Structure 1
Amino acid sequence: MRDAICGALAGLVGGLVFGQVMAVIGYLPTVAAIVRTDSPVVGFAVHLLIAAIIGSVFGVLVARQRELLFWGLAYGVLWWFLGPLTLLPLLLGRPVSWDAATAQALIPSLLGHLAYGAVTAAVLAVLSRKERRLRPGLLLRAAAAGLFTGAVLGLGSNGLSAEAVLGLGWNGLIVGALVGASYAVVFGDPREGAGPALIRGAAFGFVWWVLAAVTLSPLLDGRGLQWTSAAVRTAVAALPAHVLLGAGTALLTSLLGVLSRAVFSDDVRHTLEGRLAGGRVISIWHGVIAGLAGGAIFTGVMVAVGFLPVVASLVGSESAVAGLVIHLLISQAVGVTYAVLFRRRSFDPASGIGWGVSYGFVWWVLGNLTLLPVLLGAEPRWSAAALALSFPSLIGHLAYGAVLGLVYQRLEERVAPWHLTRSEATAARAAARHEQTLSAAPALWSLITCVALLIPILVS
């Protein structure tokens, strides 16, 4: 009951924020139509009632979770699908339209649901007393990581300034520092490993894209709230940069934390534990095999869209055979990086697929949209039109990641650390899987997948 009450209060606050947005975009009369009226006041009251009800459900569902931000965002996206796309038309006696045009028209509602989920999660965290102790050293380290990543993005974009890359005219480099500082404030130092930190940062980059490029930038320019589909399509050009900014900031912050503990800490128990677990070399081979398996699946997509000659152009060739060889070599190299970053982080097939799909999305942004055109002497393909044309590659990267994560998890599960028996390793894996379900990992996988699937709607 306490969780439901706290969730209802949090949902009410989130509904107040969302309600202001609905008033601006003129959506309240549509909500009021549920009770057969078109009064904005009645619509606002109905909206708050719905917000409190689904907030109470959220409070019950996430009562045991340690982190709530990404759960709130994923919950907001879920209710965007269930609410305006599904239940609202049925309640109004209209047919359900699950098509791109309808979804694109409801982009303002999507952004409002994201705001609702974020605010509800934040208020619920306060009500639940989910406190996090902020350390100045972590704040400085994360801010420096964000600033450095923002500078690299600016310098690596063929002469573009960081302001242009990050989509904010009032000094893009500051955005990097703000992303890093806010990352430290919101998440602290979870010590979850470099791979999960990378995915967390990518999702956090998406949050910052909504906050900075979609919301704050037009407000600071005096244009008001620009949550229209056309404005969002224009802002999509800054989405890849924000995803890379968040991912790079989180990864660098995690690595700096590891380096700091290795240099300044005399507690060697965690280091020894990692060494005793062993298996680093065999883990690399697992990454090679898993990457090759994922690459074989990805090959079907590349053949279907005729992309192998483009890959072959990396070595000055136009041969599809050469492109296939290079593609498989790259697939294995990415598999090795997955093994390095996600070693001992997937404890069942679901978590393996979750991390793998998320990693595939990051590599779509980093590889297909950024590194590949840069290596071919062009600019990063970050425009809305380029993202639309790259959607088949996105599907291939997601499929590649799913196979990569699943195969790697199954191979890793077969090798127990030498100092543990098979039963002890199984018990340890079960305990780790339970701990992972209490973290934000499942919400991260869900949110990244939703972002990937929303790309055609955002750029249509």
Structure 2
Amino acid sequence: MRFSLSRTIITGVVVGGIGGALLARIPSSSLSPLLGALLGALYGLLFGWLIARHITSAGSGLIWGLSSAFLLWLAIPTGLLPLLRGAGRMGMLNEARAHVPELVAYLLFLGFPLGFVSGLLKMKADAWDRMSSFTFLRAVTIGGLAGLIGGWAFSAWFAQNNAFVLIAGIINSDSSAVGILVHYLIAAIIGASFGLLFQKDIHGTGSSICWGLAYGLFWWFLGPLTLLPLLLHQPIDWSYLHGSALFGSLIGHAIYGMLLGWIYAWGNRLWIGLFIESDPIQRQAEGPGIVTLRSLAWGALASVLGGLLFSGITVATGVFPQMASLLRGSSPLASFAAYLIIGVLIGMSYGLFFHHESPDAGSSMAWGMLYGLAWWFLGPLTLMPILFGHPVTWTIQAADQLLPSLPAHLIYGTVTGLVFFWLENHHAQRLLLSHRVAGHEQRPRRSSGAPAPALWLVVLGLGVVLPVMLG
């Protein structure tokens, strides 16, 4: 059965119309339900016509939907409407904060259902009826286990904030032990759903970490902001003040998502190696040990320039003393050297996770930027305080102090990704001179038509905008 564009457009119009009507019902909206439904139907028509053809699975559909809804929010409530009302420059911070409820509504009422339903239609047309129970078992088993590990990392914040009692209220209990069980059950269910949604899109460890980060950010909107108050019979509050109060949960969901993607990628690779790729004829052009060592060396080399730029930017913006204070008693020179060493180690991990991910220089810069953003969540906000005996700083105040280091992390990742791509591509061009390995070297690379651009947009957009807007 072929994928029908007309059916996709009709579905987009119906789902978008329903979502637009729901969006018009939020208190901060100035739209009538009829006008909201008409605008939502128009958005659904454009989504089905322009975007749905690029969707490959339910997971990629979800990410395409979220990214397009985020762009729509940037263009209309925070951009075009204030300009038409004469409210000042487009995209001002106060204007964006005033429209945080619309951001949540755009993501949950328009982007999520449109992308998800379009992805289901695509899977049904292409391969849903050919998916075996073995594939389903792999997604649920590995995803559920990865979700449990991610939930374990998130549990430290829950314990610090006495959130287990709050979670227990879902089943009308005030027991912390019951809350722990509910927390891990939810973490496993989200992990299993990640495997089901993104199994077709997982190509490597690096991209899987980024898929997990996007999924974790999505669940912050869907979970603590929306479903949790509904389950606790409390009013839903999508204001930026309430979002700021839940900023620690946002960081926790980001860390959970990254761990979920990382563990899932390794478990998925192990499962495939044990149960699927058993044909001894399919041999690698180079041994896995050589590939791993080369990726580590290239990542370290690529990170040197990025680390120098990172340190220079943090010094110029005045944030370096704050970050260096975590290295208690160290001199500025020792702190500078320590950050260069840390940058090299992160670059090595980039080389290990992202080899064969980038078909061109632009995509390598985007992957590097996402990895830099991930390390802003993971590094100064999480690991460094823990390593030096401080509590986890998942607070909006800590994020405000470290916000000037965010551009440095993004630039570090961009430069590291670009240099790594140059080294990898240069080596691949030499291998292509051999006809024996030419086909093998071209096969693993991700196609430029993959849903990666939507992933880059939603992670970078939400990952950068939310800390700025909620601070």
Short-chain TM bin? 0.7 to 0.9
SS class of match (1:118) = helix
Name 1:364's counterpart in structure 2. 376
Q: Could you list the per-position Cα deviations for residues 313-353 of structure 1 after superposition, in whole angstroms to 9, with x for gaps in the alignment?
A: 56543311111000000000000000000011112111111
Contact kept? 1:11, 1:56, Cα under 8 Å: yes
Q: Indicate if the aligned counterparts of 1:278 and 1:417 stay in contact, CA closer than 8 A.
A: no
The CA deviation at 1:303 is 0.8
Distance 1:268 1:45, change over 3 A: farther
CA contact 2:365–2:414 (8 Å) conserved in 1: yes
The answer to whether 1:102 aligns with 2:95 is yes
* C-alpha distance in 2 between matches for 1:429 and 1:268: 18
Residue deviations 1:215-250 (CA, integer Å, cap 9, x gap): 112212222221122221212210111111111112
Q: CA deviation at 1:310?
A: 4.9
TM-score by length of 1: 0.87
Equivalent-residue separation in structure 1 for 2:363 and 2:166 (angstroms): 31
Q: Say whether residues 1:251 and 2:262 are aligned partners.
A: yes
**AA in 2 matched with 1:348:** D
Q: Take 2:347 and 2:288, find their aligned partners in 1: how far apart are those partners?
A: 24
Which residues of 2 match residues 147-162 of structure 1 at below 5 A?
147-155=148-156, 160=160
Tell me how far apart the structure 2 counterparts of residues 426 and 103 of structure 1 sit (CA, whole Å).
Answer: 50
Figure out how many residues of one structure are paired with residues of the other and give that number.
445
Find the aligned partners of 2:218 and 2:165 in 1 and give their Cα distance: 16
Q: Which residue of 2 aligns with 1:452?
A: 463
Inter-partner Cα distance in structure 2 for 1:316 and 1:389: 18
Q: Report the Cα offset of residue 101 of structure 1.
A: 0.3
Residue 34 of structure 2 corresponds to: 45
Distance (whole Å) between structure 1 residues aligned to residue 283 and residue 459 of structure 2: 31
Matches within 5 A, 1:435-450: 436-450=447-461
Q: Which stretch of structure 1 is more off in the superposition, 184-193 or 161-170? A: 161-170
Amino acid corresponding to residue 250 of structure 2 in structure 1: L
In 2, the alpha carbon distance for the partners of 1:232 and 1:165 equals 20
Unmatched segments (≥5 aa) in structure 1: 32-42
Measured after TM superposition, the shift of residue 24 of structure 1 is 3.1
Query: Residue 390 of structure 2: SS of its match in structure 1?
Result: coil
1:198 aligns with 2:187: no
Measure the CA separation in 1 of the matches of 2:225 and 2:434: 51
Corresponding residue for residue 23 of structure 1 = 25
Q: Which residue of the other structure, out of 333, 340, 351, is the alignment partner of 2:363?
A: 351
Which one of 365, 376, 390 corresponds to residue 378 of structure 1? 390
Distance across 2 between alignment mates of 1:261 and 1:179: 22
Residues 405-446 of structure 1: CA deviation (Å, up to 9, x unaligned):
11111121111276532899999888877x533322111111
- Equivalent residue of 2:378, what SS? helix
One-letter code of the match for 2:432?
L
Question: Hey, what does 1:65 align to over in structure 2?
Answer: 55
Which one of the candidate residues 107, 111, 136 is aligned to 1:117? 111
* Shift in CA distance, 210/274, structure 1 to aligned 2, threshold 3 Å: farther
The CA distance in 1 between the partners of 2:463 and 2:381, in whole Å, is: 14
- Report the Cα distance in structure 1 between the residues aligned to 2:325 and 2:83, rounded to whole angstroms: 52
Report if aligned partners of 1:352, 1:406 keep a CA contact under 8 Å in 2. yes
Unaligned runs of 5+ in 2: 171-181
2:175 paired residue number: none
Q: Deviation of residue 15 (structure 1)? A: 3.7
- Give the drift of 1:153: 3.1
Partner of 1:54: 43
Q: Distance in 1 between matches of 2:164 and 2:316?
A: 34
Q: Paired residue for 2:342?
A: 330
1:137 partner amino acid: R
Deviations 1:351-390 (A, max 9, x none): 1111101101111111111001111211111112222222
Q: C-alpha separation between the residues in 1 aligned to 2:227 and 2:405?
A: 31
Distance in structure 2 (CA, Å) of the matches to 1:168 and 1:445: 35
Aligned amino acid, residue 101 of structure 2: P
Q: Pairwise mapping of residues 285-300 of structure 1 onto structure 2 (< 5 A)? A: 285-300=297-312
CA separation of 1:276 and 1:169: change in aligned 2, threshold 3 A: same
RMSD: 3.0
What residue in structure 2 maps to residue 3 of structure 1? 5
Q: Which amino acid aligns with 1:409?
A: F
> Per the alignment, in what secondary structure is the counterpart of residue 357 of structure 2?
coil
Kindly indicate whether the alpha-carbon contact (under 8 Å) linking 2:15 and 2:44 is maintained by their aligned counterparts in 1.
no
Q: Which residue of 1 is the match for residue 140 of structure 2?
A: 139
Shift in Å at residue 92 of structure 1? 5.4
SS in 1 for 2:427: coil
Task: Determine helix, strand or coil for the equivalent of 1:24.
Answer: coil
Q: Which of 120, 123, 127 pairs up with 1:126?
A: 120
Identical columns (%): 28
Contact 1:347 1:429 in 2 (8 A): no
Partner deviation per Cα, 1:41-89 (whole Å, 9 max, x = no partner) = xx22222222222222222222133131111110001101112223334
For the pair 1:228 / 2:239, whether they are aligned, the reply is yes
Instruction: Give the letter for the 1:228 counterpart.
Output: S
Shift of 1:4: 5.8
